[in-house]
Amino acid sequence: MRSARLGTLLVAAFCLGSSAVSAQDAPPMQSSFSALIAKDYEIKTVTVVPLEVAKRATESVRTDTVIVTLQNKQSVAVCYLAFANWAFMNKTSLDTPTLCEVREGAAAEPQATSNPPPPGTTP
């Protein structure tokens, strides 16, 4: 059961990383984890993905992977890094400018009311 949940989390994280959030389908921006924290992004989730599950996404993985999701208002970021780099807060890794994918979300548009006032009433 645990393996199925981790697999589902991994698939969901990769879908988040590959789907466009903005209406323009702009290419993803990349940033370092350190730069995102400096820009007031908040960590929303940290997920440890075991090696055998991470290898389903790419064979080049050699260790457990950590997926960190962050948010700042309408923007989201997903960072992928080796477990040891996260566990020991490896500065070189966290400062890598291509560590995280960032998507800028569109601001929510106010919804117009579609219900006119009842007949015989003043709006």
116 pLDDT band, cuts 50/70/90, is low
The residue among 116 and 101 whose pLDDT is bigger is 101
- What pLDDT was estimated at residue 28? 73
- CA 40 to CA 1: how far, in whole Å? 35
Residue 111 has pLDDT above 90, yes or no: no
**pLDDT tens digits for range 26-73:** 677 999 999 999 999 999 999 999 999 999 998 999 999 999 999 999
Residue 16 has pLDDT above 90, yes or no: no
Half-sphere exposure for 116 (CA within 13 Å, toward CB): 4
pTM of the complete model: 0.66
Q: Kindly provide the b/e burial profile for residues 24-36, where b requires at least 16 CB atoms within 10 angstroms of the residue's own CB.
A: eeeebeebbbbbb
The residue among 88 and 121 whose pLDDT is bigger is 88
